[in-house]
Structure 1
Amino acid sequence: MIIKQFEYKPLAHYSYVIVNNGEMAIIDPERDPSQYYAFAKANNATIIAVIETHPHADFVSSHLQIHKETSATIYNSKKLGADYPHKSFDDGDSIKIGDVMLSAINTPGHSPDSITIVATKDDETALFTGDTLFIGDVGRPDLREKAGNMKAKREELAEMMYDSLSTKFNYLPDHALVYPAHGAGSLCGKSMSDAASSTLGDERKSNWAFKKQSKQKFMDTILDGQPFIPSYFGFDVDINKAGAENLKPAIDRVPFKRDTTATGLIVDIRDEALFKKGHLSGSINIQAVSENAKFETWLGAIVEPEEEFTLVIDKEERKDYILQRIAKIGYEKQLKEIITLQKENLMETDVLDLKDFKKNPDNYTIIDIRNLSEVDEEKFFENATSHPLNELRQSGVHIPRNKPVVVHCLGGYRSAAGSSILSRILKDTTVFDLSESINDFK
């Protein structure tokens, strides 16, 4: 069998296709299905199945679009309660892709409706584990308390994950290849490896979740220290449960205007240097200048689902590219318009006197916008106050205004967003971005 892994780096997402004897299945597809269509064409294969291991929280899937455009059958667990046409795929169910047998195992833990797909042909075995089993870790159990058809408390899901890891993989061989839906950098787990795949034998040896331990110790470990949950996660679970609109008509509806201005919530995606030279008052600088930048994550952490916003880009040629990225998390419907800026009436960002800051740090209110786990590991300023970036639009109103404010993160990307948020909130206070100068204090 041919297995192809596709990676979307900003969300550390892996999707897959399996091809055999002219037939193809797609597993956990991203919002844009064009790459899967191209692979099917290159391999003279017909797409007959698209399988969802669970309703994803961190990206919008194209399973419904693929069904509409290719007539492929959608398969997922009956526990999902999907609102789109589908067939149940649970313990004991199987389908064939050419001579490859695909079987389902219910492996709840990350979500109540999670499945693992077992692909076998002759002596080959591959496991598509979704967000159940990662390389070096397992999926977090705290994303389904407030979202989706089936809600469950994190303790209940942690216990389910223990049972899944303890029982559901026991009969499978060590040589089985493990293909997860995410890698390092995803917020769906906390300690994933950089490796894109593994074997079940290697995971049994090195993955903490397979080690012999009490249920309570397992639950304590999996529940402790999980990263923050972006605002959009529950929103995307609901979109994926219903099935997303086809990509092209969804993004084609967003209007574009050249050399203009805007009011309301404005997200400026330009490089921070351009932003600081001139931007609309109140704009939030969430940069999307790199293909690997975590733009989607921070857009969905800072802007609430269904909250309308205007997007500022540097040139019209980038419009379609950025629309594709916004659609990855389903935010295209709340995007009022995309614009390029007029040159008049723009605001400049104040520049920090670094020498004075180093000499007189107590003359400034220092705001650390890193995640709490990062702050616990290392503090750069003893007098800094912690305000994680994903909470800053709410918590920033409590920051004292009697001194200039200096915002820092670890490398500068997040502080560009954080300082712009505080400039919007603390209108009568000077706000500085320490940016890459944080390296002087490490």
Structure 2
Amino acid sequence: MKIEQMYTGCLAQGAYYIISNDEAAIIDPLRETRPYIERLEKDNVTLKYIFETHFHADFVSGHLDLSKKTKAAVVYGPTAKPEFEAIIAEDGQVFEVGALKIKVLHTPGHTLESSCFLLIDENGKEKALFSGDTLFLGDVGRPDLAQKAADMTQEELAGLLYDSLYNKILPLDDNITVYPAHGAGSACGKNMQKETADSLGNQKRTNYALNQKDRESFIKAVTDGLLPPPAYFGMNVAMNKKGYDSFDEVLANGLQALSPEEFEEAAEHYGALILDVRSNGDFAEGFIPQSVNIGLNGDFAPWVGALIVDVKQPILLVTNENEEEEAVTRLSRVGFDHVLGFLKGGFRAWRNSGKETDSVKRISALQFEKEIREKETKIIDVRKESEYQAEHVDGAYNRPLAYINEWIGLINPAEYFYLYCAGGYRSMMAASILQARGYRNFTEIDGGFGAIALTEVPTSDFVCPNKVMK
């Protein structure tokens, strides 16, 4: 028996590859199939089942492409209604993979079809629980995503989740290993631990949601402090339920190399968004006017989903050399399949062609310290509320990047301000969006709060993040 967790940090997502004898199963695969196909060929095994814990909201699963390429059956839990051929399992149904058995535990609450998969080894011992978005490490799945589809309130869904956890998961043996679908950083939960696997016994002791005195207190605990879900979630659910274009086709379309002239023409003809995925430092020094910067060197895909939202938006890419495939792949993971191509030769080719360029006014933290001493200033902190509450520049306003589309209209073009985040990644995203919408009345701070904290700039008293509301 072999269990391999295939963890993708950008999405904080765990897929699972299981083999026994000459058969294999994969749970919650990512969009691109090549890593799974390569493993199957290396191990000389046949993929028998593709198990889906639920209709994912935060990424597009690779279940359909993988099934077409391997002929493996796709398996969902009870009540799932996909618009393609799949096995809809019964609660308690057992599937055999080599000498192993995988038992379906229907655990509604996060969504109505949500299910966990209990692995039973060749000796009949329950060994592992693939818990999807029902049970995370330190948290449980948020119960507000399926309200519309289920025609239920988040409190009613939280009640279902309580029944699922307390009646089906908590009675299991403490020694079972829990393998969740997501970890810290995912928007599918609010209090996840940094670890990616744990014993069920330890979760029974440490997970706040598993230590509530009754159903009512559980409902209150898991619904308290939920932030609005990213707007692209519903579009990803629809793609996972209805189907999508082949990843191979999406990749081929996205890897069209365009000259500066072709690139400019495509942007105008298709109304394409120019997405520059270079580092924030490179972007600050020069970029194509109206570009939006979301760097590959961070939580790229989730930020694309949160800021661009519409998965059907045509996109043109500006990348570093040989990063085009990575960018298209990571975009496809969250359903952004309409990449028209990339700028051949990158930004250097654009600049060398003599076309118009733009830049962001960026200063060091030391220069920021000097400037705020000399004049009264307005400062905007685009970090999350919890980061801001933990510590911030005195007098700074908190305007989280995730909600920029809500607060950008409140900016007074005549009032100058400074902009920072934790290290420069998010503040440059904000800067690019501001300039694309015509705002020039700001300066962005290189290195963000991490650099500011090393200066004499006054800051608030530090509050331990554990005491800050999630």
TM-score by length of 2: 0.87
Distance 1:70 1:301, change over 3 A: same
Partner of 2:432: 420
**1:8 touches 1:14 (CA, 8 Å); kept in 2?**
yes
Q: Following the alignment from structure 1 to structure 2, what is the Cα–Cα distance between the partners of residues 142 and 106?
A: 18
**2:421 touches 2:448 (CA, 8 Å); kept in 1?**
no
Match of 1:135 among 134, 137, 141: 137
**2:232 touches 2:306 (CA, 8 Å); kept in 1?**
yes
Task: Classify the secondary structure of the residue corresponding to 2:259.
Answer: strand
Match of 1:371 among 384, 388, 398: 384
Q: Following the alignment from structure 1 to structure 2, what is the Cα–Cα distance between the partners of residues 358 and 426?
A: 25
Q: Does 1:338 align with 2:351?
A: no
**1:350 touches 1:430 (CA, 8 Å); kept in 2?**
no
Q: Does 1:271 align with 2:279?
A: yes
**Mapping 1:39-438, distance limit 5 Å:** 39-121=39-121, 122=123, 123-146=125-148, 150=150, 152-254=152-254, 255-260=256-261, 261=264, 262-263=267-268, 264=271, 265-288=273-296, 290=297, 293-333=298-338, 335-339=339-343, 340-341=346-347, 342-343=350-351, 344=354, 345-352=356-363, 353-360=367-374, 362-363=376-377, 365-382=378-395, 384-427=396-439, 429-438=440-449
Partner of 2:19: 19
Task: Classify the secondary structure of the residue corresponding to 1:10.
Answer: coil
Q: Following the alignment from structure 1 to structure 2, what is the Cα–Cα distance between the partners of residues 53 and 243?
A: 16
How far residue 309 of structure 1 moved from its aligned partner, in angstroms, is: 4.1
**2:170 touches 2:204 (CA, 8 Å); kept in 1?**
no
**1:18 touches 1:26 (CA, 8 Å); kept in 2?**
yes
Q: For this pair of structures, how many residues does the alignment match?
A: 433
Give the unaligned 5+ runs of structure 2: 454-458, 460-470
Task: Classify the secondary structure of the residue corresponding to 1:317.
Answer: coil
Q: Following the alignment from structure 1 to structure 2, what is the Cα–Cα distance between the partners of residues 180 and 166?
A: 17
**1:397 touches 1:425 (CA, 8 Å); kept in 2?**
no
**2:253 touches 2:340 (CA, 8 Å); kept in 1?**
no
**1:269 touches 1:311 (CA, 8 Å); kept in 2?**
no
**1:53 touches 1:129 (CA, 8 Å); kept in 2?**
yes
Q: Aligned residues: percent identity?
A: 31
**1:267 touches 1:309 (CA, 8 Å); kept in 2?**
no
Higher mean Cα deviation, 259-268 or 14-23? 259-268
TM-score by length of 1: 0.92
How far residue 376 of structure 1 moved from its aligned partner, in angstroms, is: 3.5
**2:292 touches 2:429 (CA, 8 Å); kept in 1?**
yes
Give the unaligned 5+ runs of structure 1: none
**1:422 touches 1:431 (CA, 8 Å); kept in 2?**
no
- 1:137 maps to a residue whose letter is D
Q: Following the alignment from structure 1 to structure 2, what is the Cα–Cα distance between the partners of residues 296 and 137?
A: 23
Q: Following the alignment from structure 1 to structure 2, what is the Cα–Cα distance between the partners of residues 172 and 78?
A: 20
Task: Classify the secondary structure of the residue corresponding to 2:218.
Answer: helix
What is the RMSD of the two structures over their aligned residues, measured on CA atoms? 2.0
